[in-house]
Structure formats: C-alpha cells, structure tokens
Structure 1
Amino acid sequence: MENNYQELAKHFRAFGSAFRTTDVFRDFIELTAITLINQYAFDEQWNERENRYHEIRQKYAEDDFRRFPKILAALIAAVSESKRQGTFDDVLGRLYMNLNLGNPDSGQYFTPYSISKLMSGLVAQDLPEKLDTQKFVSVLEPACGSGANLIAFAEQVQELGHIPAQRVAAMGVDIDVLCVWMCYIQCQLYRIPAKIVHGDSLTCEFWSAWCTSDWVYGGFAQAMAEKVAQEKAADGAEPPSTPASPASLALEEQLVLF
C-alpha cells in the first residue's frame, strides 16, 4: 500500500514548478469525479459537467494532461490492493494531507483512517443486529471530508460478512466541493451506495448531489425515502395537513428529498 501512495505522490510532483500541486490535485479530483459520474448519470447536468471537463483540459499541454490517466490508474490500483487485502482505506484523504494540501486556517485536517475505524466501531455496536433484521443500514456524515468515516462504516459491514454495495446506504455532506468530489470518488471505487451532497449541514443549504452508481441502480433513493417515512410512522408522527417546511425536517430527511 505504501508503494501506491509513493507512486501517486510521484505523479503529482512530476508536473514540476510550472503548476502548483494544490491546483493539479484539485483538477485531477474534479476531472475524475466528472469522468466517473458521466458514465451513468445522464441528467440535465451532464453537458455542464462535460464542458467543465474540457475547460480544465485546456489548461494543460497534451503531455501534461496525459499524466492524469496515470494518476487515476495508480489510485484505482491503490483501492484495488486495499480491497484484495480485505481492508479499506482513505486513500485520497491520506494523500491530500501527505502532500501538505490541508487548510489549517479553516481547521481542515482529515481524520486518520485508524481513528475513523475506531469511531465506526463505537457508534455502530448494534450493527450486527441491524444487518440481521433490516434490508440495509444507513449512515449519515454531516461533514464528510474525503469520506473516511463512511468508508470505515462500509468496511465494518464487510467484516461482518455482508456486501456493502447491497447493504449500505451512505449520505454525506460537505461545504467544500473538493471534499464532496473526493468522497464521491472513493465511495464509487469502493462500491459504496452513496449520495454525497455539496452543502452546509448547519444552514441546510444544498447545491449539488453526486450519487454513486450503486446508489442509483440499487434503488437507494426510493429505499431511503421509504425508510424515513416508516421511521416517522413508528414514532407516531401524524401526516401533515400541509407540506412540511424545510426548517421542520431533519437533516437526513432533507437530504433524501434533495
């Protein structure tokens, strides 16, 4: 695994002094997110994303742009090796911090994956029972960063003998769109059904959503809507006579509706 990180870092540094590493990293992440989602999400934003892809491409000479597929290949190799070993990892989050791209002025420090694993174990002690009694389990991360906590949760599901692509519905939010793309990419590569939203969990303002192919084709949007409705009914909540205002809805409900 360490060799994969070194390979990834080497590719970014190969751009030389003509480019800032922070700009190359951001362009790579956005290009990769667009490349992945435009393979299956033929929605009204498809052309906008495609145009953005070519806009970024024009910033680079052909020889420099050819480095991006090599970086993506190295990233896929790192995730694949992690999966072969039966463990997951926050590949992009670790790389981001190792390249010294964090923003200390805004308090941006990604949680080490070992801590995410510990936290996942502490907050999901009833996970075996839920997996035995429910069709799927859901997890919400209101400040998802690169997705370490969502990835750790999915790994825990796998350790219990279940397939995350079938048994997990993950939702994440982050105010930094770079984090949204990073989280989406990793959930897509690890095959975690996920809806990652660019938004503000405190003000409940949302601007865009990036859904993995397993979320889309697994029917998790409808499944989550039904889950929320069932939980409200179990709590004895009366159906409203008028549509509920966004302010009266929990974050999970708003994300389901967004």
Structure 2
Amino acid sequence: MAKATKDFAAHVAYRHDATTAVKDMFHTWVLALRNSFEPRGEAWDRREAEYMALVERYGRDGIEVFTECLGLITMASQESPGDHIGQLYHALFANNKWRGQFFTPYNVSIMMARMTFSRDVIDNAIAEKGYVSAHEPSCGAGGMVVAMGEADALHPGSSNKWDYGIMNVHYAMQVAKHAAKGTVALLPGNKAA
C-alpha cells in the first residue's frame, strides 16, 4: 500500500482534493467493473461517458494509479479477509477527524460481527427473506459488512446470499470490493452507479 499511497500523492492528490479524488477512484472502479459484465445499452453508455470524464479529469497517470490501487485491493482480498479499502482510504489521508471521519480497526469490526452475527440470525434471515441483509453502521468502506461476511463464513453451510443496502459511494465501494473477490450479486432495485 505504501507505493500506491506515494503514487496517489504524486499523480493525483497534489492537483485534486484528496477526499474527492478517493471517491472518484472508487467510482472509476465501479464504472469499469460494472461495464465489464453488464450488457451494452443506454445505461452502459452513460457509465462509459462518466468514466471517460474521470479519465479526462485525472489523466492517464491518475487512472493508472487508481487501477494500481484496485489491483492491490484485489490481491490483499485474495490473501486474507479484511477492510482493505478502509486501510487504503486511511493510508491516503482521506479520513479526517475534523470532518468526523475515523477508521474502525478491522479487529474491532470482527469482534462486533462475531458478537452479534450468530448462526441463528443468519438462518432466520434466510428462512424469512431468502437472503441475509446487513447494514454498515459506520458508513465507511464497509469493514463491518466484510467482517459480517467473515463471521458468516466461520459457520458450516455459510450463506452466499447478501443484500447490500448501502447508498451512493459506500454502496459503490462494496460492489468494487466484492466484485474484486468474486462474491458480488446485484439484487433488483440496487444501483451502484
């Protein structure tokens, strides 16, 4: 992550507000990932135009840094579960205590998920709705949602049925995070971009 942070500062942050640049980086991930597996049409064209506007804004060097960061997140996610996007966000100094933004350490998220996310809760949700619905109480990069998935995976017969009800960039970050891991499914009514 150190190289990505340095590259981000060198090619992106010195020209753009860091918080906006990080949100735009996440948005480019979602646009690219979504257009890679959804059929072409009007919505696809709109997302492609949004992506190209971001390419124009940040330049090729900036987009390459965004892509490098996604690659690092993908590799880290394959090695071990964790809030890798949150760690990257924190490393890029986009969190700001003056804005009330704080990074929840992943071990705290795991502890909370294991304390509250029992096999009974999972089984009852699937029996009632056909899927597990989880809410990210911190509205960050979704570390607690990832921790819930990890806690679920500890149970025999774990669920692969998740509904992300996270709005705007936060939902987009979850789609990007789980698309990188190959564990995302869009349910009717949810829109990432």
The bucket for the TM-score relative to the shorter chain is 0.7 to 0.9
* TM-score (norm: length of structure 1): 0.61
CA displacement at 1:147 relative to structure 2 = 1.4
1:12 counterpart letter in structure 2 = F
What does 1:1-258 align with in structure 2 at a 5 Å threshold? 5-15=1-11, 17-42=14-39, 44-82=42-80, 88-127=81-120, 130=123, 137-141=131-135, 143=137, 144-162=139-157, 164=159, 167-174=160-167, 177-195=168-186, 209-210=191-192
Identity %: 22
Task: Decide which structure has the larger Cα Rg and report it.
Answer: 1
Greater length-normalized contact order (CA 8 Å, ≥ 6 residues apart): 2
Inter-partner Cα distance in structure 1 for 2:15 and 2:165: 35
2:36 counterpart letter in structure 1 = Q
SS in 2 for 1:139: strand
SS in 1 for 2:87: helix
Structure 2 residues without counterparts, runs of 5 or longer: none
- Residues 186/77 of structure 1: CA separation in 2 closer, same or farther (3 Å cut): same
Residues 62-92 of structure 1, C-alpha deviation per residue, up to 9 Å, x if partnerless?
A: 344333332222222221222xxxxx10111
Inter-partner Cα distance in structure 2 for 1:172 and 1:196: 10
Residues 117-160 of structure 1, C-alpha deviation per residue, up to 9 Å, x if partnerless?
A: 111111122349829x9596503206443111221111122222
Residues 193-235 of structure 1, C-alpha deviation per residue, up to 9 Å, x if partnerless?
A: 45599xxxxxxxx9x6229xxxxxxxxxxxxxxxxxxxxxxxx
Inter-partner Cα distance in structure 1 for 2:122 and 2:65: 46
* TM-score (norm: length of structure 2): 0.78
Inter-partner Cα distance in structure 2 for 1:31 and 1:24: 10
Inter-partner Cα distance in structure 2 for 1:45 and 1:184: 17
SS in 2 for 1:100: coil
**Aligned 8 A contact 1:120 1:153 in 2:** yes
User: Number of matched residues?
Assistant: 188
Cα RMSD, aligned residues only: 3.2
CA displacement at 1:173 relative to structure 2 = 2.1
Q: Which runs of 4+ in 1 moved over 6 A?
A: none
1:15 counterpart letter in structure 2 = H
2:170 counterpart letter in structure 1 = C
- Residues 63/109 of structure 1: CA separation in 2 closer, same or farther (3 Å cut): closer
